[in-house]
Amino acid sequence: MVGMELVSVAALLFACIAVQAYMLTALQRRFPAIESWLGRHDSFGSEVLLVYGVIVLVVGMHVAQACLWALFYRCFVGIDSIRDAFYHSILSLTTMDDSAGVLPDRWRLLGAAEGLTGWIVFSWSTAWTFMFLTTLRDARKAPRPGA
C-alpha cells in the first residue's frame, strides 16, 4: 500500500505546484499593467489596496491547494466530512498537525507529505511576495514620464 500512498503524494504535490506556478506566473505577467496602474494612481491608499489584493490572491491559492488535499482525504482516505477533511488539510499544510489519530495507518505518510508541500509552497509564496514588493518599490522610485 506504500506504493499507492507515494503515487498519491506525488500527484498531490505536483497538483499543488501546478496551481502555484500558474497563479504566480499569471500575477507576475501582470506586473507591467500594475506599474502602469500605479503611475495613474500614485497614492499610499492605491499601494495598500494593491498589496492587499495580491495577498488575498496568494492566500486564496493556498486555500485551493488545501482543497485539493481535502478532496483526496474525503474521496479516497475516508475522512467523514469535507469540513473535517479541509480542517485536517489546513492543519497539515501549515505543519500544525501531525496526523496522528486522523488518518488511517496506511495513509499516514500523506499528512507528513502535505506538511512538506506546505513548506515548499509557503516558502515559494514568501519569496515571490518579496519580489513583488521589491518590484513595487522600484517602480515607485523610477522617474515618471513628464515628472
d(CA 52, CA 109): 35
Question: Largest Cα–Cα distance of the chain, in whole Å?
Answer: 67
Band the pLDDT of 122: cuts 50, 70, 90: very high
Q: Which of 122, 66, 55, 120 is nearest to 90 (CA)?
A: 66
pLDDT at 79: 92
- Assess whether pLDDT exceeds 80 at residue 23: yes
Topology of domain 1-10+58-139 in CATH is Helix Hairpins (1.10.287)
Report the share of the chain in percent with pLDDT over 90: 59
- Assess whether pLDDT exceeds 80 at residue 144: no
pLDDT at 33: 87
Lookup: cell for 71 = 478532496
Per-residue pLDDT tens for 54-108?
Answer: 999 999 999 999 999 999 999 999 999 999 999 999 999 998 876 666 788 888 8
pLDDT at 1: 63
- Assess whether pLDDT exceeds 60 at residue 22: yes
Tally Cβ neighbours within 10 Å of residue 72: 21
The DSSP annotation for 90-130 comes to: HHHHTT----TTTS-GGGHHHHHHHHHHHHHHHHHHHHHHH
Q: Domain segments of the chain: what residues?
A: 1-10+58-139
pLDDT at 121: 97
